[in-house]
Amino acid sequence: MSTPAAALPADPGLLARFRDAGRRIAWRPAPKGRRPSGRTARIAHLHDEEARVEEWGTKKSRGLAVDSGPVGALVLLLEIDRRGPPTHLGAENAGRDRAFPAGAIVAGWGEVAVPTDSRPRVEDLVELARYALA
């Protein structure tokens, strides 16, 4: 179920385009590697771009980490559209996590810690996700 369009700082037409692009994302399992226990990892593919997506937690306390590119931003926006605004939003710089060599954007709902290398705003994600629509 989606939250009201006002939950995301995007006009209704852009939000509809994001949702349409979300339906076209092709998913596949991520390559196996050492990750913290309880995390699931998948790869989102849209057009010629991919993004690693990791999820963990419970219904009340959930985390989502995505590659810091347009497809990752789109996946994160769609989750915000579905769940509502995250309690915490942060990013980690390139090279800090081998699974996310170009850096990651991390959202948390409930009591989930996020990195604090930078603090992106949801508006920043909207601007970045626009590039995934091409």
- As a whole number of angstroms, the distance between CA 35 and CA 114 comes to 16
Do 59 and 96 form a contact (C-beta atoms < 8 A)?
A: no
- As a whole number of angstroms, the distance between CA 101 and CA 85 comes to 26
- Domain range for 122 is 5-31+39-133
- As a whole number of angstroms, the distance between CA 39 and CA 55 comes to 6
pLDDT for the residue numbered 57 = 95
- As a whole number of angstroms, the distance between CA 125 and CA 129 comes to 6
Domains held by the chain: number = 1
pLDDT for the residue numbered 2 = 47
pLDDT for the residue numbered 3 = 44
- As a whole number of angstroms, the distance between CA 91 and CA 108 comes to 11
Do 25 and 45 form a contact (C-beta atoms < 8 A)?
A: yes
Residue ranges for the chain with pLDDT beneath 70? 1-7
pLDDT tens per residue across span 32-68:
877 878 899 999 999 999 999 999 999 889 999 999 9
Contacts of 121 (CB under 8 A, 6+ apart): 89
